[in-house]
Structure 1
Amino acid sequence: MKQTIIATLFTIISFSSIGQSMNVQYGAKAGLNVSVLTGNGAGYMYNLNSWYAGLQASFPLSKVIAFQPELLYSKEGFRGPGMVYNFDYARIPFTFQARHQSGVYAELGAQVGINVKGTAESIDEDIKTDLPELEQFNTALIMGFGYRHAKGFGANFRYSPGLTNIGNEIKSKLNCISVGLFYTLEGRKK
């Protein structure tokens, strides 16, 4: 865990130093997650609605292509018979965006999730249990689109199909649909 935190801080500092020589757009974002378990053993599982929030930095590589890393806190999970399974992740998405001058963009990338906490709650009783058998890391693809207004406001839609199983003994993946809002500030040109 300590190595992951150091690697994340190193990445943020690296992007910050690169951003000083580029026209970088920094911002915040938040939105709604709808996640569900898919794969073996996912029968009788239903989606769970939750939220995400975090920071983003957008590095224009040309007039139409940009690279956007993010750092998000994301609540995800699913519902099963009589139980709700909640997973808290620190998500680090990396996307490449193809932008149109109208503000519309399409994005494609990947994300790594670091498991912060996993719990199972009974719907009928007041019982909450930690889930220690979850994988420490979770990966997913990212496909999406959005709109960025010239004044910095924007909205996006993402689909993130999971690539890795969520637990050591659980041969299922977590898929997530996200809808959110963001606001960016234009960096200084040097």
Structure 2
Amino acid sequence: MKKILLLAVFTVFGFANVKAQEIKFGVKGGLNFSTITGDDTEGINYVTSYNIGVVSEIPLSEKFSFQPEALYSRQGYTFDDDIVALNYVNVPLMGKYYVTKGFSVEAGPQIGFLVSAKNDKTDVKDSFNTFDFGVNFGLGYKFENGLNFSARYNLGLTDINNIEDYSGKNKNGIFQVSVGYFFF
């Protein structure tokens, strides 16, 4: 985890030679359609919730940009009509390639920190790992006025379970649709 955070810091500071007036800051929010994948997932279904946060876009060239984000993300899954709500602070570090003016494909790693976990108002945070790592893939469109839209999938790569005597492995899987606005 320390190596990943160190890489993120060096990546951000490595872009220090970008002109400050070209960096854009904004907000975004949208819907999550999340579940878990892996072992013993029969009967597990998607839950619909939301994500909201701040975003920045750092142009590297005419076609490439780096887009770090900090998002509060409500995730989870349903099982036998019970909702397991997993609340994360996620930090996606997205690389964007503009295929045409405004339209981009994006990909990058995501670090997640579990804030809380509840099953029908019962605290179950101890049953889950507090750190999550995944990879995002998506598409986006940005208008010249700053309004933007995106759709992405987060493929969880780490086991989220922290349950004694359970050898199964489960990972987050989240499809997100978002709308955002760059202020400047």
TM superposition score normalised by structure 2: 0.86
Q: Which amino acid aligns with 1:45?
A: I
Does structure 1 conserve the Cα–Cα contact (< 8 Å) formed by 2:18 and 2:60?
no
- Structure 1, unaligned runs of 5 or more: 122-126
Counterpart position of 2:119: 120
1:110 equivalent to 2:104? Answer: no
- Structure 2, unaligned runs of 5 or more: none
1:17-62 Cα distance to aligned partner (Å, 9 max, x none):
6666451010000000000111101111000000000001110000
1:84-111 Cα distance to aligned partner (Å, 9 max, x none):
1000100000010001442000001010
Where in structure 2 are the equivalents of 1:6-45 lying within 5 Å?
21=20, 23-45=22-44
How many correspondences in the alignment? 175
Residue 133 of structure 1, CA deviation = 2.1
* Partner-residue secondary structure (3-state), 1:119: strand
Residue 151 of structure 1, CA deviation = 0.6
Identity of aligned residues (%): 26
Does structure 2 conserve the Cα–Cα contact (< 8 Å) formed by 1:120 and 1:131?
no
Query: Cα RMSD (Å) of the superposition?
Result: 2.4
Measure, in 2, the Cα distance between the counterparts of 1:60 and 1:72. Answer: 21
Measure, in 2, the Cα distance between the counterparts of 1:23 and 1:145. Answer: 22
1:180 equivalent to 2:144? Answer: no
Change over 3 Å in CA distance of 1:120–1:19 after alignment to 2: farther
Q: Which amino acid aligns with 1:173?
A: K
